[in-house]
Amino acid sequence: MKVIITGAAGFIGSHLTEACLDRGWDVVAIDSLTTYYSPTTKIRNASNFRDHPRCEFVEQDILDVDLPSVLSGASVMFHLAAQAGVRASWGQSFDVYTQLNVTVLQRLLEAAREAELDRFVFASSSSVYGDAESFPTTEDQILRPVSPYGATKALGEHLIYLYFRSYGLPTVSLRFFSVYGPRQRPDMAFHRAIEASLTGREFVLFGDGKQTRDFTYVHDVVEAIIA
């Protein structure tokens, strides 16, 4: 089986790429190595698969990729590429979030509706809920994101539904909850806390310290994506 993975050199994407290759699948791994955090880290993430005989590593902006050619013969699109981060999505950087989280998705969906995909899997986020009304948080709760990042992910889910409804594209959106584990992004809490402990530097706390999160281990998330 041939699968496409966008954001393949990222935290979750690199684990997913390895898992797909372990299953004997052919993988087209796409990543533009954006500078939200060090591209060197992403290159290191991809070191286990970029030269794999069943992996074609495409270091290119998705908007510049020949999508019809890439999608030819593919069974599944795993779309993980996005501009991450809640705090950074305010202010002047919002244009980056709309470009990478909305426009890129729309272009992929346009290309995918002409392909014979079995599934288009979209990496959404628990950020679409905002201040959740109840815990555990169920899928049918009203989406009220409280950050521009969350708003772009909510719009992404609506786009996914539109292409399912209008063209029958077999889509699914997965709302990830604070994923942690090896290769976690350096701006995330677990990474920052461990780094502060190892280096003896101060850990900077945001808010009053009473926030709650549901954390999910990266290998469990990869199993869910593949399922």
At 86-131, the pLDDT tens digits run 888 998 889 999 999 999 999 999 999 999 999 999 999 999 999 8
SS3 30: strand
% pLDDT > 90, the chain: 84
Dist. CA 206–CA 90, nearest whole Å = 16
Token reading at 160: 């996914």
Whether 182 shows a pLDDT value over 90: the answer reads yes
Q: Which residues are catalytic?
A: 149
Dist. CA 139–CA 205, nearest whole Å = 30
Dist. CA 133–CA 107, nearest whole Å = 33
Dist. CA 132–CA 214, nearest whole Å = 12
pLDDT (mean) for 161-187: 95
pLDDT (mean) for 137-157: 95
Whether 169 shows a pLDDT value over 90: the answer reads yes
% pLDDT > 70, the chain: 100
Dist. CA 177–CA 110, nearest whole Å = 28
Pairing of strands 76-79, 55-58: unpaired
pTM greater than the 0.85 cutoff: yes
The residues with which 179 forms a beta bridge, in sequence order, are 216
Whether 206 shows a pLDDT value over 90: the answer reads no
Give helix 104-112 / helix 148-167 axis angle, nearest 10°. 20
Dist. CA 62–CA 31, nearest whole Å = 8
pLDDT value of position 51: 95
Window from 78-82, 99-103, 138-142 with minimum mean pLDDT: 138-142
pLDDT (mean) for 133-149: 91
pLDDT value of position 88: 82
Whether 147 shows a pLDDT value over 90: the answer reads yes
pLDDT band at 44 (very low <50, low <70, confident <90, very high): very high
Sort 94 into a burial class: Cβ within 10 Å, 0-12 / 13-18 / 19+: middle
Average pLDDT of the chain to the nearest whole number: 95
CATH architecture of 2-177+218-226: 3-Layer(aba) Sandwich (3.40)
- Residue 47 is given by DSSP the state G
